[in-house]
Amino acid sequence: MPEKLWEKNTPVDRAVETFTIGRDREIDRYLATYDVLGSIAHVIMLESVGLLSKQELNALLPELKEIYRLADRGELLIEEHVEDVHSQVELMLTRKLGDAGKKIHSGRSRNDQALLDLKLFTRAKIQEIVRLASGLFTVLQERSERHKNSLLPGYTHLQIAMPSSFGLWFGAYAESLTDDMLLMQAAYKICNRNPLGSAAGYGSSFPLNRQMTTDLLGFDSMNYNAVYAQMGRGKMERTASFALAGMAATLSKLACDACLFSSQNFGFIKLPDSFTTGSSIMPHKKNPDVFELARAKCNKIQGLPQQITLISNNLPSGYFRDLQIIKEIFLPSFDELMDCLRMITRMMQEMIVNEQIIEDDKYAFLFSVEEVNRLVTSSGMPFRDAYKKVGLAIEAGTFVPDKTVRHTHEGSAGNLCNDRIAALMQTILDGFPFDKVNEAENKLVDK
């Protein structure tokens, strides 16, 4: 059997081969389990339309499931000179089963096979990200409630502005995750449509049953138009990358806050010593390296949509090899974001909050607006007159702050609305059809 699915009798120049294969043999290991999963659904469908015999199907399924288990353990290796994971799986089947292994490619192209692998991979990784982000959300909400009465300076222009609280700070990032999760759900829904059967982008003369593979793989629906299914390559990755970038932006901002707040100039939070690193020259240093690295990794992920756009934005309809390069930047980004979610969740759980921040006199002017509002409500003084009176007292050095904060409206320090934010998050989580997908996949591999 040729080592490449398309190879005939004329050998390809070695330099051309190396350049065109690129990192596929390495990167396709991300896709191995999903490639086999798609092949299981495909051969079941082929037998149903008469392109495989029942005997051939019965021989193929156990072998495919064994390859799946090998890939699931991370032990499926793409051999030297084998081009990609598709070729490796077909080669392994043909060695074992002969002609039956050669028949599994009937009615599909590497184009729709790669599209399917990418979609199955992406929806699985989104499920992992949703689980981790949900865990971080729970930690942030718990800490918001625990520290709802712990005051914290609020800033505009990096100048002290108004009283905030740790309840507001933790809760703000929890609510930010709800918007990130909504965008993630939109990406999931776009991803969760079946391209298999679109072949090279123009369908097939075989009597394929695309609805069967859609159902077997737990997709919501198929990409109906074969040309559009192929046009979705690059578009799906770009859409998902925007969702990754949105969540990365939340984590990056949180990490930046934590770096500032843990510095001696602020002293708002403290990390356990075991969560910090030291300096090779300064014995006193305790560096928030986790937050700094998370910030950098998340900023890198925020550049992903632009990279994918620049690779794919001037391609006409149809398949082009340019799209291969997207895999190299897209597939590893999920693991990077998940690493950041895990580490930031641990940091949020363990950080120590300074409960006495506001006692420092340098924060006295935080309460100037509180005094303006007190004058308005207690004496009926017009707001602008009250503003001027407090401003003149500050200029004269006679302002004495009342550090009692009386905020009661929705979303303020005295009314965090954490229960409503939790309900919003639950509604979003309930919109992911993970159970249906997991049941379909587990049934295919007898889990």
Contact 21, 7 (CB under 8 A): no
199: left (phi over 0), alpha (psi -120 to 50) or beta: left
d(CA 39, CA 218): 14
Active site residue 86: no
Matching residue, tokens 């300096």: 279
Instruction: Say which of 53, 221, 263, 279 is annotated catalytic.
Output: 279
Provide the b/e sequence for 275-289 (b: ≥16 CB within 10 Å).
Answer: bbeeeeeeeeeeebe
How many alpha carbons fall within 13 Å on the CB side of residue 106?
20
d(CA 406, CA 149): 11
Q: How many CB atoms lie within 10 A of CB 24?
A: 21
Structural tokens at position 433: 């059809």
Instruction: Say which of 157, 378, 379, 409 is annotated catalytic.
Output: 157
Active site residue 157: yes
Contact 133, 93 (CB under 8 A): no
Contact 287, 277 (CB under 8 A): yes
Containing 348, the helix (H) or strand (E) segment is helix 323-350
Active site residues: 157, 279
